[in-house]
């Protein structure tokens, strides 16, 4: 019994260590039942939810956002999700050292579909925390795109 | 004995690793205001109370993004005339704030955005709320509130500001 317990603990340690050394970090944003929603003129146009991640790879970080989208008014303009990310370093205060933005492919189906845009970012030095600001928008040709409010999420250094 | 020590060490390591891996944000933590033993913030004019308020504040993910939300109970103490409201000021911190309650930061809190509740003219307690987005460039925020009497032709008399504890988001 004791041996089994020890083995179980050892296994748990290996799993945890493996996932820790793999080094990626992820944060979910919203859910299918409570998605981010973009409105235009009081009408809900689109919805989205997903998972924001970053994975280090030898001096670079792959930042990605697996976001599911649904166009609630699929006859007109299409919707997309937009991610702005930053890596912060802290001294007496914390400042954004570097960052960028990326967007998903446009979608106009009224059923959920996942889009996982990503960006590989050169990161020359260590950072203290990463932030992602995510919103869902509707692509409009002749006027500024209406967007949802942004979810602000992130994680400490990995 | 050795085995027990080993298991203990391993368990300790697991706890440390799990703690380090768990993101430590505090969404949805409810902060009551005003802090301390005071029941309400009070707006006075020439020493006469005009309105009072208390409530809660929190950071929450909504279908409109991450929001700083103040839920206030407001009472107009001189109903029939000018109406009362609460102003929320969302403050951010770009430093590192230490627990407990993130009161001690390496930088000063600064103003990010403001919002005001609807007005009330009632002598009963009325629930009103105000909210703003949060700064994507920071990790810590807190709510700052005052209650005021809305006056058309002169500056609004207001209470002093009350500050909640900070939260990580």
* Chain B: residue whose CA lies nearest to A7: B7
- Which residues in chain B are closer than 8 Å to A34, comparing Cβ atoms? 63
Q: Give the pLDDT confidence score for residue B3 in this predicted structure.
A: 62
Q: Please give the CATH number for the structural domain made up of A23-156.
A: 2.60.40
Q: Give the pLDDT confidence score for residue B56 in this predicted structure.
A: 98
SS3 assignment, position A57: strand
Q: CB B80: neighbour CB atoms within 10 A?
A: 8
Using alpha carbons, select from B137, B53, B88 the residue that is nearest to residue A85: B137
Do the beta carbons of residue B61 and residue B167 sit within 8 Å? Answer: no
SS3 assignment, position B34: coil
Mean pLDDT of the region B69-92: 95
Strands (E), A104-143: 113-115, 118-122, 129-138
| A29 compared with A90, residue with greater pLDDT | A29
Q: Give the pLDDT confidence score for residue B152 in this predicted structure.
A: 87
The proportion of chain A whose per-residue pLDDT surpasses 90, expressed as a percent, equals: 65
Of A9, A36, A155, the CB nearest to B23: A155
Question: A53 at the B interface (CB within 8 A)?
Answer: no
Mean pLDDT of the region A3-23: 53
Residues of B near A (Cβ–Cβ under 8 Å) read 3, 6-7, 10-11, 13-14, 17-18, 20-21, 23-25, 61-67, 94-96, 106-107, 133-139, 169
Cis peptide before A122 (omega within 30 of 0): no
Of A37, A94, A153, the CB nearest to B63: A37
First-residue to last-residue Cα distance in chain B: 44
Place A120 in a pLDDT band, splitting at 50, 70 and 90: very high
Tell me the Ramachandran region of residue B102: left when phi exceeds 0, alpha when psi lies from -120 to 50, beta otherwise. left
Q: How far apart are CA B89 and CA B100, in angstroms?
A: 22
| B154 compared with B52, residue with greater pLDDT | B52
Please give the structure tokens belonging to residue B148: 């005021």
Distance from CA of B74 to the nearest CA of A (A): 27
Q: Give the pLDDT confidence score for residue B20 in this predicted structure.
A: 42
Mean pLDDT of the region A20-47: 88
Q: How far apart are CA B165 and CA A153, in angstroms?
A: 20
Place A23 in a pLDDT band, splitting at 50, 70 and 90: low
Residue A63 pLDDT > 70: yes
Place B21 in a pLDDT band, splitting at 50, 70 and 90: very low
Which residues between 54 and 73 in chain A have a beta carbon less than 8 angstroms from any beta carbon of chain B? Answer: none
Residue B15 pLDDT > 90: no
Do the beta carbons of residue B54 and residue B33 sit within 8 Å? Answer: yes
Q: How far apart are CA A141 and CA A136, in angstroms?
A: 16
* Chain A: residue whose CA lies nearest to B18: A16
Q: What is the ipTM of this complex?
A: 0.80
Among A113-127, B19-33, B44-58, the range with the most confident prediction by mean pLDDT is B44-58
Mean pLDDT of the region B14-24: 45
Please give the structure tokens belonging to residue B36: 């301390």
Could A29 and B136 be called an inter-chain contact, meaning their C-beta atoms sit closer than 8 Å? no
pTM of the model: 0.82
Q: How far apart are CA B5 and CA B7, in angstroms?
A: 5
What does the buried/exposed string (b/e) look like for B61-76 if buried means 16 or more CB atoms within 10 Å of the residue's CB?
bbbbbbbbbbbbbbbb
**C-alpha dihedral sign at A41, A46, A52, A57:** negative
Question: A43 at the B interface (CB within 8 A)?
Answer: no
**C-alpha dihedral sign at B103, B101, B166, B17:** positive
The lowest-confidence range among A28-32, A96-100, B46-50, B125-129 is A96-100
SS3 assignment, position A66: strand
Tell me the Ramachandran region of residue B47: left when phi exceeds 0, alpha when psi lies from -120 to 50, beta otherwise. left
Residue B116 pLDDT > 50: yes
DSSP string, B114-157: EEEPPPB--SS-EEEEEEEE--TT-SEEEEEEEEEE--SSSPPP
Residue B132 pLDDT > 60: yes
Residue B117 pLDDT > 60: yes
Residue A18 pLDDT > 80: no
To the nearest 10 degrees (0 to 180), the angle between helices A2-22 and B2-21 is: 30
* Chain B: residue whose CA lies nearest to A95: B94
Residue B40 pLDDT > 90: yes
């Amino acid at each position: 019994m004791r041996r089994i317990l020890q083995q179980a603990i050892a296994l748990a340690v290996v799993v945890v260590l493996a996932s820790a050394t793999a080094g990626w970090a992820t944060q979910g944003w919203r859910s299918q039942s409570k998605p981010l929603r973009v409105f235009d003129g009081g009408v809900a146009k689109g919805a989205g939810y997903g998972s924001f991640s970053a994975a280090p790879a030898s001096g670079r970080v792959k930042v990605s956002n697996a976001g599911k989208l649904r166009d609630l008014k699929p006859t007109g303009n299409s919707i997309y999700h937009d991610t702005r990310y930053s890596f912060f370093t802290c001294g007496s205060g914390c400042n954004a050292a570097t960052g960028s933005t990326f967007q998903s492919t446009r979608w106009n189906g009224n059923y959920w579909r996942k889009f996982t845009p990503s960006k590989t970012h050169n990161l020359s030095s260590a950072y203290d925390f990463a932030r992602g600001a995510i919103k869902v928008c509707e692509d409009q040709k002749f006027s500024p795109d209406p967007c949802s409010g942004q979810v602000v999420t992130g994680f400490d250094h990995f | 004995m050795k085995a027990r020590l080993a298991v203990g060490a391993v368990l300790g390591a697991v706890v440390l690793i799990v703690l380090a891996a768990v993101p430590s944000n505090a969404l949805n933590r409810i902060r009551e205001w005003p802090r301390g033993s005071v029941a309400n913030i009070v707006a006075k004019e020439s020493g006469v109370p005009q309105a009072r308020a208390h409530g809660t504040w929190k950071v929450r993910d909504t279908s409109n993004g991450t929001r700083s939300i103040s839920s206030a109970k407001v009472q107009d103490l001189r109903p029939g005339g000018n109406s009362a409201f609460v102003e929320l000021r969302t403050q951010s911190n770009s430093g590192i704030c230490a627990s407990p309650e993130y009161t001690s930061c390496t930088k000063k809190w600064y103003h990010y955005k403001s919002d005001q509740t609807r007005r009330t003219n009632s002598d009963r307690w009325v629930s009103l709320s105000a909210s703003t987005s949060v700064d994507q460039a920071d990790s810590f925020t807190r709510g700052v509130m005052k209650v005021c009497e809305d006056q058309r032709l002169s500056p609004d008399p207001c209470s002093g500001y009350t500050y909640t504890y900070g939260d990580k988001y």
